């Protein structure tokens, strides 16, 4: 470890508290999250005391500091190749775009950015530019990002309300309500409907087959873009390369991010058809740059993405499907008899543990002196707190704190998942005995 890295790890946690976001640092400390992580070892994290931590957050599908992806980045840095091309004619972006389009078997154009939020913004602008319509719709309890356009697609609440007024005509529809969708699209002023195949922050809620059928048919009938936000479900996570690839029709746009950069570097992508992209941006040389990001698809991040795609083989995706099904079945069996357990949701290596609320007054936010959170359930956070101590980094869903969201790395051993299942049973049983 270099002296600079050692110095950052020694002082940087306090620097974050002072200069970045003190409440995030306080929350992590109060919740007992594994905070001072200083090493990555065989895909897991290690804290300053030497405790190993399995990360179920979902950004590290190939494990923390995957050696294959790290080696690809080092190999690039050992060359004298430019990483940024002032002409914007970027061979690394071109190569990655071809690979993604060919892998999907449908799309023919890619736009790259750094985050899922930026990919959402690209889709909103593309849809408005092509359709010349003002409205963009999402579904209740969606999570599409924190930039102004994507923020407007959120449900009312903490992630949306403080930043009003939002873009006019942008907002959510009731989840799974076909009649509401039909009425909205019949007005012929909707540029796009943006959906997640499975709402992760919304409580690990999959779109029903009936709703997907209606969504595909109605958007096509009314000339509305269908945008699949696959930032969390794409790239093998559900046991398919894209969760939307088996829909009755392919969306006009699909959005990717998270582990596209192999967990090392930030990159996102909006995939669409070339004819749609050229309708929006192909009028002249000026319009060709009407939407861009300075470091869109820079060489080093594209190299990391290529290495990630090398690892994302068909056999690995099949493993995600099969191991994920076994994992969810094991959780259902292990937790099924506990009074605070409701159900397991998910697909592939996405699992949501749905919990019932506790009635114990000592386990309420009021008891902890947090009156502003009195409407929120506590069991999910309490279970996370106990799992942190056992070496598991888990989270509740941002819009539904009654659901634990689990997204293990694709290469995690089945024995490790079985151990987690046993530990989850022990810790939830402990909470049940307090109730």
Neighbours of 403 (CB within 10 A): 26
- Distance (Å, whole) CA 282 – CA 291: 12
pLDDT for 36 equals 92
Lowest mean pLDDT among 29-38, 170-179, 268-277: 29-38
pLDDT at 225 over 60: yes
CA angle, residues 159, 163, 168, in degrees to nearest 5 = 105
pLDDT for 249 equals 97
pLDDT at 327 over 80: yes
Domains 32-61+314-433 and 67-312 share a fold: no
- Distance (Å, whole) CA 106 – CA 127: 18
Which tokens is 267 given? 């990159």
Phi-psi region of 190 (alpha: psi -120 to 50; beta: other; left: phi over 0): beta
User: Could you read off the pLDDT of 92-143 as tens digits, one per residue?
Assistant: 999 999 999 999 999 999 999 999 999 999 999 999 999 999 999 999 999 9
- First-residue to last-residue Cα distance in the chain: 47
Q: What is the mean pLDDT of residues 262-282?
A: 96
Question: Which among 356, 261, 252, 217 has a CA at the least distance from the CA of 69?
Answer: 261
Q: How confident is the model at residue 370 (pLDDT cuts 50, 70, 90)?
A: low
pLDDT at 266 over 70: yes
- Distance (Å, whole) CA 14 – CA 28: 13
Question: Which of helix, strand or coil describes residue 167?
Answer: coil
pLDDT at 384 over 70: yes
Taking the domains of the chain in order of start, what are their residue ranges?
Answer: 32-61+314-433, 67-312
pLDDT for 155 equals 86
pLDDT for 157 equals 86
- Distance (Å, whole) CA 300 – CA 311: 17
pTM over 0.85: yes
Which tokens is 188 given? 């012929």
Percentage of the chain lying above the pLDDT 90 cut: 83
pLDDT at 364 over 70: no
- Distance (Å, whole) CA 254 – CA 234: 9
Lowest mean pLDDT among 66-80, 235-249, 376-390: 376-390
Write the CA distances from 227 to 77, 197, 324, integer angstroms.
36, 10, 26
pLDDT for 363 equals 66
Q: Which helix (H) or strand (E) holds 214?
A: helix 209-221
Pick the CATH number of 32-61+314-433 from 4.10.320.10, 3.40.50.300, 3.90.1150.10, 2.60.40.1930: 3.90.1150.10
Which tokens is 97 given? 């775009």
67-312: CATH topology:
3.40.640
Please check whether residue 423 is in contact with residue 390, taking contact to mean a CB–CB distance below 8 angstroms. Answer: yes
pLDDT at 376 over 90: no
Where does residue 361 rank: exposed (0-12), middle (13-18), buried (19+ CB within 10 A)?
exposed
Q: How confident is the model at residue 339 (pLDDT cuts 50, 70, 90)?
A: very high
Question: Which of helix, strand or coil describes residue 41?
Answer: strand
User: Could you read off the pLDDT of 412-428 as tens digits, one per residue?
Assistant: 999 999 999 999 999 99
Write the CA distances from 72 to 77, 93, 269, 278, 308, integer angstroms.
9, 16, 20, 33, 10
User: Could you read off the pLDDT of 146-165 as tens digits, one per residue?
Assistant: 999 999 999 888 889 999 99
């Amino acid at each position: 470890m270099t002296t600079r890295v050692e110095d950052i790890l020694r002082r940087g946690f306090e620097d974050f508290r002072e200069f970045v976001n003190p409440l995030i640092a306080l929350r992590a400390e109060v919740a007992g999250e594994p905070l001072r992580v200083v090493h990555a070892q065989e895909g897991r994290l290690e804290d300053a005391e030497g405790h190993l931590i399995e990360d179920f957050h979902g950004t590290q599908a190939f494990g923390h500091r995957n050696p294959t992806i790290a080696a690809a980045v080092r190999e690039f840095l050992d060359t004298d190749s430019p990483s940024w091309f002032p002409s914007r004619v970027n061979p690394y972006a071109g190569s990655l775009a071809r690979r993604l389009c060919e892998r999907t078997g449908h799309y023919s154009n890619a736009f790259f950015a750094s985050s899922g939020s930026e990919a959402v913004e690209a889709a909103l602008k593309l849809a408005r530019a092509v359709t010349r319509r003002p409205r963009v719709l999402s579904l209740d309890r969606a999570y599409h990002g924190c930039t102004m356009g994507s923020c407007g697609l959120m449900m009312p609440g903490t992630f949306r309300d403080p930043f009003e007024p939002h873009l006019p005509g942008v907002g959510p529809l009731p989840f799974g309500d076909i009649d509401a969708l039909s009425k909205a699209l019949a007005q012929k002023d909707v540029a796009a409907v943006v959906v997640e195949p499975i709402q992760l922050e919304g409580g690990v809620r999959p779109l029903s087959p009936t709703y997907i059928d209606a969504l595909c048919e109605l958007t096509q009938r009314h000339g509305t873009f269908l945008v699949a936000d696959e930032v969390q479900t794409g790239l093998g996570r559900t046991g398919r390369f894209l969760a939307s690839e088996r829909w009755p029709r392919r969306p006009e746009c699909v959005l990717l991010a998270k582990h596209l950069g192999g967990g090392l570097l930030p990159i996102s992508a909006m995939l669409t058809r070339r004819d749609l992209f050229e309708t929006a941006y192909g009028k002249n040389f000026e319009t060709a740059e009407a939407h861009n990001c300075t470091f869109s698809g820079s060489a080093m991040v594209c190299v990391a993405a290529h290495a990630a795609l090398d690892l994302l083989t068909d056999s690995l995706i099949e493993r995600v499907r099969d191991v994920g099904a076994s994992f969810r079945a094991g959780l259902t069996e292990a937790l099924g008899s506990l009074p605070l357990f409701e159900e397991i949701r998910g697909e592939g290596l996405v699992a949501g543990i749905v919990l019932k609320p506790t009635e114990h007054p000592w386990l309420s936010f009021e008891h902890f002196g947090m009156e502003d959170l009195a409407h929120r359930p506590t069991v999910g956070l309490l279970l996370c707190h106990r799992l942190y101590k056992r070496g598991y980094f888990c989270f509740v869903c941002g819009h539904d704190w009654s659901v634990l969201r689990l997204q293990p790395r694709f290469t995690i051993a089945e024995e490790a998942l079985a151990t987690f299942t046993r530990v989850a049973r022990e810790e939830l049983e402990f909470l049940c005995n307090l109730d």
